[in-house]
Amino acid sequence: MAKTIVVKQIGSPIRRPEIQRKTLIGLGLNKMHRTRELEDTPSIRGMVAKIPHLVEIIEERG
């Protein structure tokens, strides 16, 4: 079983740079307080690291 992380959006993309909004969409998030379970890969970790003020890692599984 692959390792996964649960990511929750905690910040609004309003008045944020376009690249940050596109990163949120790339993670599958677009509305406040939504969560996604994503595969724990370096690319996903890098996307989360780019927008730590908009998302948080809730849980690590696997």
At CB < 8 A and 24+ separation, what contacts does 41-44 make? 44/5, 44/7
What letter would DSSP give residue 52? Answer: T
The predicted pLDDT at position 62 comes to 87
Fold classification of 4-61 (topology level): Ribosomal Protein L30; Chain: A, (3.30.1390)
Q: What is the overall mean pLDDT for the chain? A: 97
Of the pLDDT bands very low, low, confident and very high (cuts 50, 70, 90), residue 56 is: very high
Domain spans, the chain: 4-61
The alpha carbons of the chain give a radius of gyration, in whole angstroms, of: 11
Select the more confidently predicted residue: 62 or 43: 43
Whether 2 contacts 40, CB under 8 Å: yes
Query: Span 28-43, mean pLDDT?
Result: 97
Of the pLDDT bands very low, low, confident and very high (cuts 50, 70, 90), residue 1 is: low
CA distances from 15 to 4, 19, 34, 49, 51 (A): 30, 12, 19, 19, 14
The pTM assigned to this predicted structure is: 0.93
